[in-house]
Every structure is written in structure tokens, then in C-alpha cells.
Amino acid sequence: MNKSGVEDVELALEIRCALGESPVWDPRSDELVWVDIRSGHVHWWTPRAPTARSLQVGNTVSAIAPRRAGGYVLGTRSGFAVLDSAGSFALMAEVEADRPVNRMNDGKVDPRGRFWAGTMAETDEPGAGSLYRLDLDGSVARVVDGVTISNGLGWSPDSTTMYYVDSLAHSLDAFDFVVETGEVRQRRVLAEVPSAMGLPDGLTVDEQGYIWVALHSGGAVHRYSPDGRLDTRIELPVALVTSCTFAGPEYKDLYITTAVDPERDEHLAGSVFVHRPRVSGMPGPLCES
């Protein structure tokens, strides 16, 4: 038995993130980068180092991705933002300024380098959020509306399908994706996620095109086939499993972020875990905006 207390997953880094989210590998520094939404921290960690280094950015930060021009693109309470390589924060494009109860949530870079992030009402008001695309020229397009909790995003290895989770829709959805323009069409449910299994949250896609979905309140990660079949279930020792990403120089390790549920006595909640499947992930594109 390893330190995580379960079989398929190891404790990678013991840390108490209130709401750890949006893990992404930064190939420029060989670090895992993720955020703690509630406390507004960005964390960086080199696998096997004893601790992470952290920065509080002064805004709710819900998603992060490395940026070609240096530093990172962020999803924040106020909209899309940039954290430059010196650690200074600047808002890039405001989103939903007329809805103070809304904040951005999960985000991801598409195969062409556009950054996508959605919103949610902190009251979980049904349909109050949307999914946005930050285009290469810095303009923002609202792509999907009527979203309740905008969450995981990912693309098939051939870039023709976009995967998407609105957590309170209780499903993993798919769209046809047009890589040249960033348009999406033909939304459909790929896999239903029964509420007894938790809420679908962050996701990542492996090199075989299978989709790994974190289950918030479900204490697990599910791997679905491209046609929506549940292929593998990985159990974690904490309930609030928020997101996952392939990381490490060869993208062989699946790192999993978690959150603290104040109602549960889980001493590893908020920590980062690692699962080593027999399949690798794919390098994430840098944000070109």
C-alpha cells in the first residue's frame, strides 16, 4: 500500500488546496502548474520535489495555461487575464461584467492555440453561464450559452471533436470541431454520468483518443472511449476529484487535482495524486493569444 491509501493512485504532493483545479504541464520549465480557485493561488511543482512554489494573483483564478508570448493565460473572476513571466497580473478581456455573481471556471487551449473558458454563477443558477473562446487576435466569442457549471474541455487527437462538460448536465458531451475557425456544431451527449457517481468535472484526452473525466463528489476518475463507453475507473482516497492532466516529459503520468470538503474528514483532500496508466497523453498546445 502506498501513501495514498488506494491501489492505483499514488500521492504525488501533499498540499491543502481548498479547490485545486486546471492542472497543466509546462514543457518550458518541466513543471506541473495548477490553481486553487478559492484562494486565488497559482502553484508550480516539479515532480518529486518536496514542495510547490505558489503565487497569489489577487483575483479568483480558475484556469491556467502556458502562453507562447511568455507567462500564462488565466481564467479569472473578471474574465481572461495574463500572468507574465515576472508574475505580474493583467486583465486581457473582461467577460460578463454585468453579472457580478458569475465567475470564470475551467479553461483549456485548443489545438490551434485559442484559449477556451466558461463561466458559472456562484449560486449555481441554472443556465446562467456560457462558454467563451479567446481568439488569436484577442477578441472574445461567446460560443455556448445556457451553461450552469462550465467545466472540462478537451479535443480529440485529430482535432475534429471537442469534448465538454457542463457539470449539472450530468454528462460528457461532444461537438464537431472546426480547427481552422474554432466553430463547434452538433452537440451531443457522449456519456451520461449518473449523479450517484458524482459530477463530471475537469477532463483530459489521451493519445488513443480516450477521455479521462474527474468525478467531483465521486472520488474517482473515469476513462471513456471515443464512443462513450466507460472503459476504466480509478478510485481516489478523497471525494472531491476536480481535474486531471497528463504530465512529465513524456506525458506518461496522469496527475489529478482535488479539493477540500469541509464536511468530510479527509487528511489528503486538496493534494495532487498520480496514476500511471499504460497510455500516454499528448503535449498541450501553448496559448497563442
Residues identified as active-site: 201
**By the rule CB under 5 A, 173 interacts with Ca ion:** no
Closest CA to 210 of 188, 233, 237: 233
**By the rule CB under 5 A, 166 interacts with Ca ion:** no
**By the rule CB under 5 A, 253 interacts with Ca ion:** no
Identify which of residues 59 and 151 has a Cβ nearer to Ca ion in the complex.
151
Return phi, psi of residue 158, to 5°: -90, 5
Identify which of residues 92 and 165 has a Cβ nearer to Ca ion in the complex.
165
CA 254 to chain centre: 13
Torsion of CA 77, 78, 84, 89, to 10 degrees: -90
**By the rule CB under 5 A, 201 interacts with Ca ion:** yes
**Of residues 9-68, which lie at the interface with Ca ion (CB under 5 A)?**
none
Identify which of residues 135 and 169 has a Cβ nearer to Ca ion in the complex.
169
CB of 70 to Ca ion, least distance (A): 26
Identify which of residues 12 and 168 has a Cβ nearer to Ca ion in the complex.
168
Supply the DSSP symbol for 247. Answer: E
- CB under 5 A: which stretch of 78-86, 132-140, 148-156, 257-265 binds Ca ion? 148-156
Rounded to whole angstroms, the Cα distance separating 261 from 253 reads 26
CB 22 within 8 A of CB 107: yes
- Count each helix (H run) and each strand (E run) in the chain, helices first: 0, 24
CB of 69 to Ca ion, least distance (A): 26
CA 245 to chain centre: 8
CB 190 within 8 A of CB 163: yes
**By the rule CB under 5 A, 151 interacts with Ca ion:** yes
Identify which of residues 201 and 206 has a Cβ nearer to Ca ion in the complex.
201
Per the listing, cell 493534494 goes with 271
**By the rule CB under 5 A, 106 interacts with Ca ion:** yes
Return phi, psi of residue 168, to 5°: -80, 5
CB of 213 to Ca ion, least distance (A): 11
Q: What is the helix (H) or strand (E) element at residue 105, kind and residue range?
A: strand 102-109
- CB under 5 A: which stretch of 28-36, 177-185, 197-205, 279-287 binds Ca ion? 197-205
- CB under 5 A: which stretch of 38-46, 66-74, 98-106, 127-135 binds Ca ion? 98-106
CB of 278 to Ca ion, least distance (A): 26
> Where does this chain bind Ca ion (CB under 5 A)?
106, 151, 201-202
